[in-house]
A and B are shown apart, each in its own frame.
Chain A
Amino acid sequence: MGYIELMDISKSYNKQSNVLNGIDLNIEKGEFFVLVGPSGSGKSTLLRMIAGLEEISGGTLKINEKIVNHLPPKDRNLSMVFQNYALYPHLTVEQNILFGLNARKIDKQVQKKRLEETAKLMGLSDLLKRKPRELSGGQRQRVALARAVVSEAPLCLMDEPLSNLDAKLRANMRIEIRRLQKQLGLTMIYVTHDQVEAMTMGDRIMVLNDGVIQQVGEPITLYNKPSNLFVASFIGSPKMNLGKAVLTDDHLIIEEELKIPINSTQIETNIKNKNLIIGIRAENLPLGSNGEETYEIEVVNVEQLGNETLVSFEVGSELWTAKWLGQWLGKVGDKVPVHISIENIHFFDAHTGNLIQAASNTNKQEVVKI
């Protein structure tokens, strides 16, 4: 049994349609669990329900084997970091950090000790006398984290804590939060809309859309075997290239344009002549070389990133992107050959959007090669 158990949790406002539906989930002790989804998917609501800030409309929530549906937030033994940090503007950093300990009437000596430890851990020792408005965004973020740390609650909830920071600082804080979590052995539930954060930080990820769980799993699993089209297009950057396809006896025809020969052993037979949507990752569309099966495409956009190049081209009505390592100095309008291999293609049912067959070729080897 997990540390946190959600059993058939649902949420509705004013008895109208549910914003969350049948959420079943187990989170282990010490796990870094990420809830990810687009805005309006219900991920923040779910987090606030775990915190006790929102009423649970249906289902059971257990923390540490105890049912906590009815408990107020303070009795759930958790800490929370809010998106806007929720720092008290009229209190100094020190008072902000100690606010909770004061409220719980913890001994002054203990408070002092914990404050010193936390401030040192978070690098805030020199800022204790300042007010929040005298701090930079990153420092405020650190104070918010310090407040969570100082409470010594075993469970920490974070609601998009990095979305107010600039990109560089965000990358730093990602590592810092992750390290802190491991160091303190915290169980973390982390809400974000940023799939990069989800991929890089989570031990496990839950993808949520329209209040329904799409997939739960390790980041790499989500990337390699997305269980439906939503996860496929949500996880990964640039997003997975998708296209309508049909499977004939010996060919896969994508968007009525690309014809890829197949031999029947590669594909399960029961998906033939069905309406399909296929997906292929940008890094699996390499520049074609001699001796390979290639397709000529016309470049419509080139994005130079320095270490890699993103090349966009049209396939039927879809705009696909290929990611090539290094600097490719082509121009818009160039015709270039692209290699498409059947092992890299994911097959989805066009009606349900569910995965039928994942790509047999994962990217594991490539990393080893380099």
Chain B
Amino acid sequence: MSMSNPTLESLENEISEINFEQIKKKQRLKSFAKGMLFLLPSIVLFGAFLFYPLFKTIYLSFFLTNAQGETTVFVGLQNYIDMFASPVFQQSMKSTFLFVLYTVPTTVVIALFLAVLANEKLKGIGLFRTIFSSTMGISVAAASVFWLYMFHPSIGFLNKMLEIFGIDAIGWLTDPKWALLAVSATTIWMNLGFTFLILLGGLQSIDSYLYESADIDGASYFYKLRRITIPMLSPTLFFVITVTIINAFQTFGQIDILTQGGPQNTTNLIVYSIYREAFANYQFGTASAQSIVLFIIILVMTVLQFKLGERKVHYQ
């Protein structure tokens, strides 16, 4: 017998002894367990404060409740049917969509304008950037109170200005024609800081070589804005629009402080309506049903945006 045969045999034996499939399976299991361990904090937090409330809300929306929020009678979809038939809710939906329509495009356009201005390399531009983004640091409550004074019918700054020009005072927050616009203006002002900052960040990440190359090619300022800045900024714009729409649908604080849903329910936006239904009328069932509708609306809007918008967005 030569030496090579036994060694070859033992090698084959060795190979057959190793069960590759089983070892791989073991390794996969191990790495899965490790991954789960890393995810655990998020899963626990999301579970307690997001998933559980979500399912509880869906559950509640099929019931009538008592004042403590305990379920009393199962009514199936009756909550939803009543809700859509209710003129108050219809008004609330209309106001919400109008509010989104007023605030989102205006915020984005103004913020974009300011960001393009603040992106110029000028002396003291840091001061303007700070000013433009400063509303980010102001709480909803503080901003609302500030605007409450601005809108005050007799001592408010706006009506004082109108007085100078000889125009009659406007009941900004009490006139049904003006209330939603007034709240929208407040919201635009409040959201401007955040939107501006994100857009400015987006502008600054655009490679300066592109502009230099365009300068050599003889492109005008607006040509550069149209052909370079806006397309290169599109991912940021997309993000900003999505976030602003979601925020607009969830507006609550300024309504609570400025108008409390009035006058004649014109500013009764959906989140405020949910709040009133649950904590003023103690109708947790209907409140839950409205929450679910809001959830679905935001979900659909976001999905729609991704479907429509993403095609026009240029990621690098």
**Once the chains are docked, how many angstroms separate the CA of A53 from the CA of B211?**
10
**Once the chains are docked, how many angstroms separate the CA of A82 from the CA of B234?**
24
Interface residues of A in 79-105 (CB under 8 A from B): 79-80, 82, 84, 86, 88-91, 99-100, 102-104
Q: How many A-B residue pairs have CB under 8 A?
A: 69
Chain B neighbourhood of A100, CB < 8 A: 214, 216-219
Contact with B along A32-59 (1 / 0, CB 8 A): 0000000000000000000111000000
Stretch among B7-15, B88-96, B223-231 lining the A interface: B223-231
B207 contacts A by Cβ under 8 Å? yes
Please determine whether A53 and B212 come into contact, CB atoms closer than 8 angstroms: yes
Interface residues of A in 44-78 (CB under 8 A from B): 51-53, 72-75, 78
Please determine whether A82 and B219 come into contact, CB atoms closer than 8 angstroms: no
Interface residues of B in 194-217 (CB under 8 A from A): 207, 209-210, 212-217
A133 contacts B by Cβ under 8 Å? yes
Which of B207, B209, B316 has the most C-beta atoms of chain A within 10 angstroms of its own C-beta? B209
* Closest A residue to B218 using CB positions: A74
A151 contacts B by Cβ under 8 Å? yes
Contact with B along A189-228 (1 / 0, CB 8 A): 0000000000000000000000000000000000000000
* Closest B residue to A51 using CB positions: B216
B314 contacts A by Cβ under 8 Å? yes
* Closest B residue to A153 using CB positions: B216
Please determine whether B316 and A133 come into contact, CB atoms closer than 8 angstroms: yes
Please determine whether A73 and B216 come into contact, CB atoms closer than 8 angstroms: yes
Please determine whether A88 and B228 come into contact, CB atoms closer than 8 angstroms: yes
Residues of A in contact with B, size category: 20 to 34
**Once the chains are docked, how many angstroms separate the CA of A90 from the CA of B232?**
7
Instruction: Specify which of A52, A103, A147 is in contact with B220 (CB 8 Å cutoff).
Output: A103
**Once the chains are docked, how many angstroms separate the CA of A221 from the CA of B208?**
38
**Once the chains are docked, how many angstroms separate the CA of A73 from the CA of B214?**
9
Closest CB in chain A relative to B145 CB, distance in Å: 44
Interface residues of A in 253-308 (CB under 8 A from B): none
Instruction: Specify which of B213, B217, B231, B314 is in contact with A104 (CB 8 Å cutoff).
Output: B217
Please determine whether B217 and A53 come into contact, CB atoms closer than 8 angstroms: no
Which of A72, A74, A90, A104 has the most C-beta atoms of chain B within 10 angstroms of its own C-beta? A90
Please determine whether A90 and B231 come into contact, CB atoms closer than 8 angstroms: yes
Closest CB in chain A relative to B205 CB, distance in Å: 12
* Closest B residue to A131 using CB positions: B314
Please determine whether A86 and B212 come into contact, CB atoms closer than 8 angstroms: yes
**Once the chains are docked, how many angstroms separate the CA of A52 from the CA of B214?**
12
Please determine whether B213 and A86 come into contact, CB atoms closer than 8 angstroms: yes
Please determine whether B223 and A103 come into contact, CB atoms closer than 8 angstroms: yes
Please determine whether A80 and B218 come into contact, CB atoms closer than 8 angstroms: no
Please determine whether B314 and A80 come into contact, CB atoms closer than 8 angstroms: no
* Closest B residue to A90 using CB positions: B314
Instruction: Specify which of B209, B219, B220, B234 is in contact with A99 (CB 8 Å cutoff).
Output: B219
Interface residues of A in 134-151 (CB under 8 A from B): 147, 151
Please determine whether A89 and B316 come into contact, CB atoms closer than 8 angstroms: yes
Give the 5 A-B CB pairs with smallest separation, nearest first: A100-B217, A74-B218, A90-B314, A103-B219, A86-B209
* Residues of B that sit less than 8 Å from A by CB: 207, 209-210, 212-220, 223, 227-228, 231-232, 234, 314, 316
Taking A52-B216, A102-B223 as known contacts, 18 extra A-B pairs with beta carbons closer than 8 A to each other, sorted by chain A number, are A52-B215, A73-B215, A74-B216, A74-B219, A78-B216, A82-B213, A84-B207, A86-B209, A86-B213, A88-B210, A88-B231, A89-B316, A90-B314, A91-B231, A99-B214, A100-B217, A103-B227, A104-B218
Q: Mind listing 14 A-B residue pairs with CB under 8 Å?
A: A52-B216, A53-B212, A73-B215, A73-B216, A74-B215, A79-B216, A80-B212, A86-B209, A86-B210, A88-B228, A89-B314, A100-B216, A103-B217, A133-B316
